[in-house]
Amino acid sequence: MTSEPTALEAYADVAGREVIEQVRQLASRIRDLRVVHVNSTREGGGVAEILHRLVPLMQQLGLAASWEIVMGEESYYRTTKAFHNGLQGTPVQLDEMGLRRFEATVADNADRLRDVLEGADVVFIHDPQPAPLLKLCPNRRGKWIWRCHIDVSHPYRPVWKYLRNIVAGYDASVFSLPAFAQPLPHPEYIVPPSIDPLSQKNMSLSEEEVAETCTRFGIDRERPLLVQVSRFDRFKDPVGVIAAYRQVRSFSPVQLVLAGGSATDDPEGEAILREVRQAAGDDADIHILDLPADAHRTINALQRAADIVVQKSTREGFGLTVTEAMWKGKPVIGGDTGGIRLQVIDHHTGFLVSTPEGAALRIRYLLHHRDKLQRMGEKARQFARESFLLTRQLREYLTIMVALTHDAGERIEIRQT
């Protein structure tokens, strides 16, 4: 699903010229740098979403950027999902056999990737799945960065202890929020993720396309619409969203879309989807959409059709779906957790909630105060534009790469334009 590369220049209109100039100046200091990103899926989830857009922009800027993935059998994904759940605070069992298989799988991947990784100047390892690659590349010459996208503010200790051992050897780590940073023996940077305003997921769409998408899924445009877009994952609390919808429903003829899909590195999706279907029962106004990985325009249209976007997660590394909704001028009812707190400024760009009751209360309020809903949506769009666009994240990654590949004494000046 690699989308057409968009020219960097095209971002000036939405993100402003200044950031484009800064990005160009920074990149000129590290031209031809061999940069490799490694994660565990090309499809599904926020990391893949960003890399699809970020890597081509780095290439346009003259960096020799590439993207590799680690792959494994089902047991590998079961263990890495347990890491994910454990890092987000769930007590999970890590069995010896699972850990040994995990390490053996990464070792197999290392055999395939060693040349490119050892030859790279900068390697970004995303999340825990590929993390042991570092020690499997003993002749590495570049700087290795562990890029953690997960909410590790309150990890289940045994899981963090195991992973900390692995990531402590990196040259630097990057977290999405200050609250996620953990004591590690190397420089830590804070870089929130971002969305691409020009991608199929976020570009502007015609009203006809939005209407056509609604017709395709049997959504009535005369009645209010709530939308949550998420992988079917317990931390996204889709069942809690249905509970909130039911409470709103007794006051308003609202409809609900739960649009999801599964990531190839997430083995739990199907079971959660079954639970969600069961919770929805035969309510014709709950639309559970199991979408293919490349349904970007469909998701774009659904987010635009929404009156309110919900992201009622109980844990959330960042929540790109929140940014996507804000960019489309929608107020977001978001779980009071992780990266959602950075984006949903309570009472300004949306509401932070902790329970289905809280979500229902806020949804009812906004549906009855359309002027407030409108104003919140406008603020949300402005905030997303100022803080969470891809060009800002690109600038921060370039800055980190410049810092790691230059001596402390070397002064880098970015000219004001």
Q: Residue 84's closest CA among 183, 38, 152?
A: 152
Of 76, 318, 383, 397, the residue at the interface with ligand UDP (CB under 6 A) is 318
Q: Taking CB under 6 A as the rule, does residue 392 contact ligand UDP?
A: no
Tally of CB atoms within 10 A around 328: 21
Q: Taking CB under 6 A as the rule, does residue 237 contact ligand UDP?
A: no
CB of 319 to ligand UDP, least distance (A): 5
Of 58, 122, 286, 299, the residue at the interface with ligand UDP (CB under 6 A) is 299
Q: Taking CB under 6 A as the rule, does residue 53 contact ligand UDP?
A: no
Specify whether the CB–CB gap between 4 and 54 falls below 8 A. Answer: no
Of 240, 319, 331, 335, the residue at the interface with ligand UDP (CB under 6 A) is 319
Specify whether the CB–CB gap between 315 and 266 falls below 8 A. Answer: no
CB of 309 to ligand UDP, least distance (A): 11
Place of tokens 């502007």: 204
**Which CB sits closer to ligand UDP, 45 or 142?**
45
Q: Taking CB under 6 A as the rule, does residue 334 contact ligand UDP?
A: no
Tell me how far apart the alpha carbons of residues 63 and 55 are, in angstroms, rounded to a whole number: 9
Place of tokens 């590349």: 137
**Which CB sits closer to ligand UDP, 105 or 176?**
176
Please provide the distance, in angstroms rounded to a whole number, between the alpha carbons at the two ends of the chain.
36
Q: Which two structure tokens, joined as six digits, stand for 245?
A: 């919808």
Q: How far from 287 is each of 44, 202, 404, CA to CA, in Å?
A: 20, 22, 48
Specify whether the CB–CB gap between 54 and 393 falls below 8 A. Answer: yes
Partners of 226 in beta bridges = 256, 308
Of 49, 68, 121, 265, the residue at the interface with ligand UDP (CB under 6 A) is 49
**Segment near ligand UDP (CB under 6 A), from 140-148, 211-219, 226-234, 350-358?**
226-234
**Which CB sits closer to ligand UDP, 33 or 229?**
229
Q: Taking CB under 6 A as the rule, does residue 180 contact ligand UDP?
A: no
Specify whether the CB–CB gap between 245 and 226 falls below 8 A. Answer: yes
Of 229, 359, 373, 376, the residue at the interface with ligand UDP (CB under 6 A) is 229
Q: Taking CB under 6 A as the rule, does residue 356 contact ligand UDP?
A: no
Q: Taking CB under 6 A as the rule, does residue 238 contact ligand UDP?
A: no
Of 33, 46, 144, 155, the residue at the interface with ligand UDP (CB under 6 A) is 46
Q: Taking CB under 6 A as the rule, does residue 226 contact ligand UDP?
A: no
Q: Taking CB under 6 A as the rule, does residue 156 contact ligand UDP?
A: no
Specify whether the CB–CB gap between 276 and 233 falls below 8 A. Answer: no
Place of tokens 């020799």: 64
User: Per-residue x/- marks for ligand UDP, 272-291, CB under 6 A?
Assistant: -------------------x
CB of 406 to ligand UDP, least distance (A): 32
Tell me how far apart the alpha carbons of residues 287 and 26 are, in angstroms, rounded to a whole number: 46
Tell me how far apart the alpha carbons of residues 313 and 354 are, in angstroms, rounded to a whole number: 9
Binding positions for ligand UDP, rule: CB under 6 A: 45-46, 49, 201, 229-231, 259-261, 291, 299, 318-321, 324
